[in-house]
Structure 1
Amino acid sequence: MIKQYKQGNQVIWYDGSLIDQPSELLFDPSYWQQQQRVLGSAQGRGTTWFVDMGQCHAALRHYRRGGLFGKLVEDKYLFTGWDQTRAYQELMLLDQLKQAGVNVPKPIAAKVEKSGLTYTADLLIEKIADAQDLVAILKQGKLSEQAYYQIGEMIGKMHQQQVNHTDLNIHNILLDSDQAVWIIDFDKCRKEAGEHWKKKNLGRLKRSFAKECQRFAIHWSENDWLPLQQGYSDQF
């Protein structure tokens, strides 16, 4: 269950089963470094830190803007309400999907700090153990029809919850060592009524396969789309 802790101009939402005492230190990479609990890091728009929380391994991310605007206001967003912040929305979306049986990272905690008209935000989520994204896997060889079916199946489960993953691509789909399918990176994703966007989600994913074929010569062909589509359709 997600709980809330508010102090001054700062709110922390957290999973009470994993965190007893919410603290802003949880979102400070230097704190984890001092505790010698940093497992590694990854570079993207910013640095994602992988930390050992004891009960689980987690990924810590500070929200940063991209593009030209991001160079001007690197990590600040317009504040329109606590429940409108990106960290809160991503945390609660993950919580809903997790409860519905969709394989997404477990939401651990989110922090939002307000300053005047803007805010900054951080997110702590589960690090999926022994997992690789589809690009890394398909560089090594082909996937089975069963794997593609299960990918379609998991996307279908997500769409059953009316969650629009606005950046559904093969970098955001993982397979772990047990061949379980995971979907990640729900920043700016949302619940959305209707059906029209679901086809767009799938179209975006298919274009991603084709694009990475050209970039990295991954082992994928149009025929591989058929079992994925079947796995998806069987959810409806």
Structure 2
Amino acid sequence: MQQINLADGLVWFDNTLLSEADIGSVFEPEYWSKLNKVIGSAKGRGTTWFVQGEQVPMALRHYRRGGLFGKLVKDQYLFIGWERTRCYEEFMLLKHLRQCGVNVPRPLGAKANKVGTLFYRADILIELVSGARDLVALLKNSKVEHNVWYAIGEEIAKMHRAGVCHTDLNAHNILLDGDNQVWLIDFDKCEKREGKNWQQGNLDRLLRSFQKEKNKAGITFNEESHWRWLTEGYSTIQLTQ
């Protein structure tokens, strides 16, 4: 990982995967638009832009607040140190997970800019999982086989074995690519934790997510079979700290 200083902030990046000459500009959607390299987008709390980098396709995300407070302060966070910025923490957590063998997208770059003396804004670039769809989209229209549910459980267990709590583990944050390979995404505000007493809470949250999407979006989900297969896969991985 390399670091460069900006007039009002810092950029951290993987120079083997992010080789654009103007690193300071790659976190701006307009930069990619001028190069005609915007290849898609997705709406969420804000817009995530999909762009074609020199090495790999990437997803560019600007950090935005949610909830009631987010209506007042959309994208500014209290600055308590560069290594405590949301983008740096997510970048380093993804690096840790990949080193532990967890299937997450490669982090490519992160940028934090000071706003005055007390606040900052942040952006992150991660590798785009080409052709991937989240479980909710898949379960609306097709069947997910036993071996895939099993693999989902294994991947979550590997994340837990790496000591990472996914504070928003839900069906939208689990992807399958064209080869039915499982990917875990969206690690903003997630963290490393000691012990194991938080792990069941992660699984309980995911189960509630499936139940919610079954009622809301009409996904195909059977707790007696699908969830059992997932937890069987989870149990095959020895959870050690």
Give the match's secondary structure for 1:166.
coil
Q: Please give the TM-score of this superposition, normalised by the length of structure 1.
A: 0.97
Structure 2 letter corresponding to 1:125: I
Question: Which residue matches 1:229?
Answer: 231
- Asked if 2 retains the 8 angstrom alpha-carbon contact of 1:62 and 1:123, the reply is yes
Question: Which residue matches 2:195?
Answer: 194
Question: Which residue matches 2:8?
Answer: 9
- Asked if 2 retains the 8 angstrom alpha-carbon contact of 1:12 and 1:22, the reply is no
- Asked if 2 retains the 8 angstrom alpha-carbon contact of 1:142 and 1:220, the reply is no
Give the match's secondary structure for 2:198.
helix
- Asked if 1 retains the 8 angstrom alpha-carbon contact of 2:132 and 2:175, the reply is yes
**How many pairs were matched up?**
235
Question: Which residue matches 1:132?
Answer: 133
Structure 2 letter corresponding to 1:92: M
2 CA distance for matches of 1:143 and 1:41? 26
Identity %: 52
1 CA distance for matches of 2:198 and 2:25? 39
2 CA distance for matches of 1:30 and 1:183? 28
CA RMSD of aligned residues (A): 1.0
Residues 89-115 of structure 1: CA deviation (Å, up to 9, x unaligned):
000000111122111111000000112
Deviation at 1:5, TM superposition (A): 1.2
- Asked if 2 retains the 8 angstrom alpha-carbon contact of 1:5 and 1:22, the reply is no
Q: Please give the TM-score of this superposition, normalised by the length of structure 2.
A: 0.95
Question: Which residue matches 2:34?
Answer: 34
Residues 148-157 or 22-31, more deviating: 22-31
Report matched runs for 1:210-229 at 5 Å: 210-223=211-224, 224-229=226-231
Residues 179-188 or 93-102, more deviating: 93-102
* 1:85/1:35 CA distance change after superposition, 3 Å: same
Deviation at 1:16, TM superposition (A): 1.6
1:122 aligned onto 2:103: no
Deviation at 1:22, TM superposition (A): 5.7
2 CA distance for matches of 1:99 and 1:17? 16
2 CA distance for matches of 1:174 and 1:127? 11
Question: Which residue matches 2:102?
Answer: 102
Question: Which residue matches 1:70?
Answer: 70
